[in-house]
Amino acid sequence: MKKRSKGRYPNLIIAGVNKAGTTSLFTYLAHHPDICSSSVKETCFFLYTRYSEKQPPTAEYLKYFFHCSDERYVMESTPAYFYGGRDVAEKLYALDQDTKVILILRNPVDRVLSFFKHKKSIMEIDRNVEFDEYLEKCRSFSEERLNERKNDNYFSLIGGLYSRYLRPWYDIFGESLRVVFFDDLTGDTPGMMKSLCDWLDLDKDIYADQSLFTVENKSIGYKNAGIHRAAIKLNDMLEKALRKNVAVKAVLRKVYYAVNGKEEKPSVDVESLEWLRGYYAESNKDVADFLKSTGCRNLPPWLD
């Protein structure tokens, strides 16, 4: 790609999906010397397109990449891009037609549970709300209202209907799109990273170092709400600095979990799980059939 005098647009984008390991994948790829990552993990720049809002000048987007120079790839990760479908995909393609896109999919039943837990952990959903109450709230919104940014906390249910959003990304990016799975990221992290290096035509020897594979963006409960609220605010303020010092971030995270962390597992009734499996069954089948038609093999059990 031609080097720009004031930053470079990304040519490697993790475009989806939320709570499927995108933060970990972004962190692992950022370790590669031939990849320069954005100053914050999620720029969210083209979500303006998804929500039909006025978009700032694209020059603002470049600010996230001013520090990049002659690396082979410039990368960002905004997993909610996936749900912008064709409109967002076309915007990204117009920036650089050599852009490669990674989509990482997760069993939608597990994903909606993880999303619920995450939103409670960052205090956007009350910690006393039960999972069945949350699902009922999600179902109470019309699709039109769910497409408003202010209601994003309740989009996670329909957000697992991947078949609604997948095809336009393939239409636009074709062989420059790679679908991977959370199952492989957690089950064989080195193997998945080496496979991505082959696809990106990068040296994969760096991923022989197992110490690189820390778990990122883990959702965890809290003991003291005031301390947790302050920690969330501080983390947001320091994200750019912590992205540059991942070892420091890991130590701070470990200390914080020990002081104020609390493992919380949502109570999930059997009826809700059965309902979710039925809700996603048709979409999962459509995704499996489509991916097989593109030559994708070794699908995870929830798709096979």
Indicate whether 144 belongs to any domain: no
Amino acid 2: pLDDT: 41
Amino acid 138: pLDDT: 97
The average confidence (pLDDT) of the chain is: 90
pLDDT tens readout for residues 30-77:
999 999 999 999 999 999 999 999 989 988 999 999 999 999 999 999
Indicate whether 75 belongs to any domain: yes
Contact 12, 99 (CB under 8 A): yes
Residue among 131, 130, 114, 104 nearest 218 (CA): 114
Q: Which domain holds residue 67?
A: 12-108+160-213+278-293
Indicate whether 272 belongs to any domain: no
Amino acid 139: pLDDT: 97
Amino acid 219: pLDDT: 67
Residue among 57, 91, 61, 87 nearest 74 (CA): 61
Q: What is the pTM of this model?
A: 0.88
CA distance 141 to 137: 7
Amino acid 218: pLDDT: 65
Indicate whether 122 belongs to any domain: no
pLDDT category at 265 given cuts 50, 70, 90 is confident
Residue 267 has pLDDT above 90, yes or no: no
Residue with the bigger pLDDT between 23 and 252: it is: 23
Amino acid 55: pLDDT: 86
Residue among 8, 146, 11 nearest 80 (CA): 146
pLDDT tens readout for residues 161-171:
999 999 999 99
CA distance 281 to 108: 10
What average pLDDT does this structure show over 9-19? Answer: 96
Among residues of the chain, what percentage have pLDDT more than 90? 72
Indicate whether 241 belongs to any domain: no
CA distance 103 to 178: 6
Amino acid 17: pLDDT: 97
Domain count, the chain: 1
Amino acid 173: pLDDT: 97
Amino acid 229: pLDDT: 78
Amino acid 3: pLDDT: 44
CA distance 258 to 250: 12
Indicate whether 131 belongs to any domain: no
pLDDT tens readout for residues 191-230:
999 999 999 999 999 999 888 888 776 666 777 777 767 7
| CATH number for the domain that contains residue 43 | 3.40.50.300
Amino acid 1: pLDDT: 42
The CA-atom distances, in angstroms, between 62 and each of 7, 34, 57, 96, 127 are 5, 19, 10, 13, 37
pLDDT category at 86 given cuts 50, 70, 90 is very high
CA distance 46 to 52: 10
Indicate whether 87 belongs to any domain: yes
Residue with the bigger pLDDT between 260 and 295: it is: 295
pLDDT tens readout for residues 132-148:
999 999 999 999 999 99
Amino acid 261: pLDDT: 74
Residue 5 has pLDDT above 50, yes or no: no
Q: Which helix (H) or strand (E) holds 145?
A: helix 143-146
Contact 13, 75 (CB under 8 A): yes
Indicate whether 72 belongs to any domain: yes
